[in-house]
Structure 1
Amino acid sequence: MSTIKTIIELLFLLYTVCILSFYFWLAIVSAKELIKNVREAKTTNFDALLSSPFAPVISVLAPAYNESLTIVDNIRALLGLYYPNFEIIVINDGSKDDSLEKTIKAFDMELVPFATDYKIKCQPIRGIYKSKVKAFSNLTVIDKLNGGKADALNAGINISKGDYFISIDVDSIIDPHALKKLIKPFFEETDKRVIAAGGVIQIANSCVIENGQMVEVNVPDKFLPRCQVIEYSRAFLMGRLAWSRLDGLLLISGALGLFDKEVVINCGGYYTKTVGEDMELVVRMRKYMADNNQKYKVVYISDPLCWTEAPSTLKVLGSQRNRWTRGTIDTIMLHRNIFFNRKYGFMGMVSHPYWVFFEWLAPIIEFSGILYFIIIALMGWASWSFFYVMLGFVYFFAIMFSNYAILFDHLSYNRYKKKRMIFKLLLTAWIEPFFYHPFVVYWGLRGNFDYFIKKKKSWGKMTRSGFEMPKYKKTKR
């Protein structure tokens, strides 16, 4: 029995060492890439791109389902993007609220005749609306039957005119300079074809938004969104940026991603039978390029290019994380032939296995470790000194990793101007492992249960609170 116990504990120890080593390696790689990106951003002349008559058309696709609370402000933000040649396509995916009516009224839109070339299958389009106002001539609204986000994006691709398209969440606020920064890698790379580019997503809770523009950046007042600020910093600056440098990036967030439309169409568009359409598309595009022996690249921009409203309640956040887990499993299962397949290079030998062992299976293994320790503790077999050493080591590694992400983000972009905001985040990082991480583990387990046992396929509800508007002080006359 003692031999079995020793083997089990060694396996848990090996897993812990492996995952922490991966995190440490990714942190070093991302730090080098971030320093490089910040230096390049200071010397890049984006004005040359803005004034160039050869700037390619970019189609901005924004699926909307029951987004009445923020849709008008977000469309205004999109209209204010600094880029010489772009169109905005808002896809009303059969909303049950007044999203469409609000949009039509706010931008003085009318139904226009249309013909659609269905290069990618999607639910029928009921109508296309264009604005009567010349200033909004690049705005198009598609009204279609409900088919989900992936289906809405496919409809937008069918209508779009650009060679490149950007998929966004309509509830997000995009940095006005996002398009010119995202398109830049597509022209810099000469040996490889850039097929997709993503940018850093940040949390907009408690920030002040005016006319669809970010006017004041604040640290979220509520604990849950504040934990997500730290989580996003780790994921984007310490994770995806490193995977981009290593040419192993498998995920570009659905909130903001720029894609080569030709490659997407050749791949068949977004897959509509998964809730993780963003990750699945990137993996399928990479497989397509590898299968056709084409040199390619998927890149990530370290700038904070998009702001999104994060869930502020456990119910909504749990629904989101449940969906993320199911989407991850779906992609891994659909493309399981990549797993340790040399044909797919770094993606097959490192990226895909990493997602299997340290993203999908992490909550299951962590829960199993906790359950195992409880059992041996009740039976009096636990080595408490070893337990305390391991607990302290893992805890302080997590704190160090979070603090590193917070401080590196601050030194690079200085988004949070007040010192108390940084202090607030650092303090949150110390308590996050006790009051936030256990929920993340539970939601991961629940996502596995819903995927394999309940066969759940739905998105779940994402209730929005809406962005905070500026408060003006009354002046005496």
Structure 2
Amino acid sequence: MSDIWIRLFQFFALMIIIYMSFTALSYVVLFLLSLRKVLREGRLDKKETLEDLAISESTIPVSIIVPAYNEEIGVISTVRSLLTLQYPQYEIIVVDDGSKDQTLSKLIDEYGLVVVDHAIRKHIHTKPIRKVYKSPIFPNLVVISKENGGKADALNSGINLANYPFFCAIDGDSILEQDALLKAMKPILAADGKIIAVGGSIRVANGTTIARSKIEVIELSSKPLVIMQIVEYFRAFLIGRLGFSRFNQLLIISGAFGVFRKDKVIHIGGYQEGTVGEDMELIVRLQRMIREEKLADRIEYIPDPVCWTEAPESFNDLRSQRVRWQTGLAETLYTHRKMLFNPRFGTIGFVTFPYFLFVELLGAVFEFIGYLLIIFGLLFDFLDPAVVFTLFLVTVMYGSFVSSLAVLMEEMTMHKYPKVSHLVKLFFWSLTESFWYRPIMVIWRIEGLIVFFTKKAEWGQMQRKGISTD
């Protein structure tokens, strides 16, 4: 091989080393920022405050919106868990988005739903509503049957029907812990209206015993693929979102569980139709609104409110999910590209938006190049062994290091997995991440970038088993 090619490969190797070192450093910084907030929160008496909040007349009523498309397996469990929430006043609005399975009929049978005349405000344009149902057994339960329009359209229909100033969006296959809504609303009440959106933590329910829609016994799944998703959720929520939340830089709240001030969401036009990542796109638009209108509003992530959801157990289902997530991220960043390095948006334009672009979106491309350089460098001996070793450390090992930090953060904050064996398993699998799980994710994230240019938005379905038993 000629000297020119060798120098070119060495240059690329140096660039990858610099990039991956910066990425690892950014995760460490986020970890330290998150750790400070965790330690401060740990000194507060949360239980006493929640008990006062549960009986307070000043607690703001909330509309809970559950978009459902072909959720016949899990929707009854989700609604049942919502009916037992510890919260003074709330309504549940299930939006059946033209399901092709038995989602609607199961709801009708389970809760004795009857058709009612109900005036629906047209704050946001949506697909036509077929019927509105109410439950004579549970007066706070409403079900909308509408033409299929996608998840964003279903959520917008729920917003149009919602009676209360805040709404909580939750997926149709998820279960909230009984005090989750209280915990999510607590900072909103304390901030006197300045917090307009709050996101909570998502936990993987696979392996956990959930009976009658309540958490009975928390266990780890026996499947490594599921365990790695648990670790991945730790990293995304407890390090990433908690760190960005400290400085009002949050760009995403999970679609599985978030609380929003309704008038602000209506003001920006509701959820954006035709996008895969409607959850992130909404938050980015809210952040744009805050900066463009020079508001004092905040968007926060609170680690304590927990929502349990079913994770994919097969490689095929997980691939479909991650390709969709990456496509949604690409769509959102492209749609709001004017924010990049724009002084009008302050640190979001110069720090957070570039982070999501160059680390979260394009990181897979750089990692893939790093893998290729390691493999070909060893096979054809055109890179110095010290360079190859450094590439291996920063490209391969940093992922496992960051994941182990995430497990440590979970133990310090939520402590949801009570057994020592749980912690041992989580640490063990987090250390193996870079040798099998992360390379697979890199390939699927690159696939998501390709799909971004070629495919339309879809709900996306996976094979479900259900997470609750009667």
Q: TM bucket by the smaller chain?
A: over 0.9
Maintained 8 Å contact 2:268/2:285: yes
Deviates most, 89-98 or 286-295: 286-295
1-structure distance, mates of 2:53, 2:241: 26
Give the Å deviation of 1:55. Answer: 1.7
Amino acid at match of 1:77: S
Q: Deviations over 1:32-88 (max 9, x none)?
A: 111222322536512222212222120000001111111111111000011101000
1-structure distance, mates of 2:334, 2:41: 34
Give the Å deviation of 1:107. Answer: 0.7
Structure 1: runs of 5 or more not aligned: 471-477
2-structure distance, mates of 1:10, 1:227: 30
Maintained 8 Å contact 1:341/1:349: yes
After superposition, where does 1:317-466 map in structure 2 within 5 Å? 317-392=318-393, 394-452=395-453, 454-466=454-466
Tell whether 2:27 aligns with 1:23.
Answer: yes
Give the Å deviation of 1:321. Answer: 0.4
Give the Å deviation of 1:382. Answer: 1.8
SS, match of residue 72 in structure 1? helix
Q: Deviations over 1:126-180 (max 9, x none)?
A: 00111121xx110000000111110000000000001000101010010111111
Amino acid at match of 1:460: G
Give the Å deviation of 1:304. Answer: 4.7
Could you tell me which of 108, 131, 143 is aligned with 1:104? 108
Distance 1:102 1:468, change over 3 A: closer
1-structure distance, mates of 2:227, 2:371: 26
Q: Deviations over 1:395-448 (max 9, x none)?
A: 444333222221331233322122112111111112222121111011101111
Give the TM-score normalised by structure 1: 0.94
SS, match of residue 199 in structure 2? strand
Amino acid at match of 1:270: Y
1-structure distance, mates of 2:166, 2:172: 18
Could you tell me which of 58, 62, 73 is aligned with 1:69? 73
Correspondence for 1:181: 183
Correspondence for 1:50: 54
2-structure distance, mates of 1:367, 1:390: 12
Correspondence for 1:128: 132
Larger RCO (alpha carbons 8 Å, 6+ apart)? 2
Aligned length: 466
Maintained 8 Å contact 2:122/2:160: yes
Percent identity over paired residues: 38
1-structure distance, mates of 2:171, 2:422: 27
Q: Deviations over 1:184-235 (max 9, x none)?
A: 1112225x82111001111000111111111111111111111001000111
Maintained 8 Å contact 1:202/1:304: no
After superposition, where does 1:288-307 map in structure 2 within 5 Å? 288-307=289-308
SS, match of residue 39 in structure 1? coil
Maintained 8 Å contact 1:70/1:171: yes
2-structure distance, mates of 1:369, 1:193: 44
2-structure distance, mates of 1:226, 1:234: 13
Q: Deviations over 1:311-336 (max 9, x none)?
A: 00011110000010010001100100
Q: Deviations over 1:103-132 (max 9, x none)?
A: 111111101112222110111110011112
Deviates most, 217-226 or 145-154: 217-226
Distance 1:420 1:43, change over 3 A: closer
Tell whether 2:13 aligns with 1:9.
Answer: yes
Maintained 8 Å contact 1:339/1:352: yes
Amino acid at match of 2:343: R
Maintained 8 Å contact 1:207/1:468: no
Structure 2: runs of 5 or more not aligned: none
Give the TM-score normalised by structure 2: 0.95
SS, match of residue 133 in structure 2? strand
Correspondence for 1:474: none
Deviates most, 33-42 or 429-438: 33-42
2-structure distance, mates of 1:241, 1:107: 38
Tell whether 2:255 aligns with 1:254.
Answer: yes
2-structure distance, mates of 1:227, 1:281: 28
Correspondence for 2:467: 467
Maintained 8 Å contact 1:60/1:165: yes
1-structure distance, mates of 2:167, 2:323: 28
1-structure distance, mates of 2:383, 2:287: 46
Q: Deviations over 1:223-259 (max 9, x none)?
A: 1111001000111111100100122110000000000
Maintained 8 Å contact 1:63/1:153: yes
1-structure distance, mates of 2:402, 2:456: 34
Give the Å deviation of 1:292. Answer: 1.2
Deviates most, 389-398 or 358-367: 389-398
Amino acid at match of 1:80: T
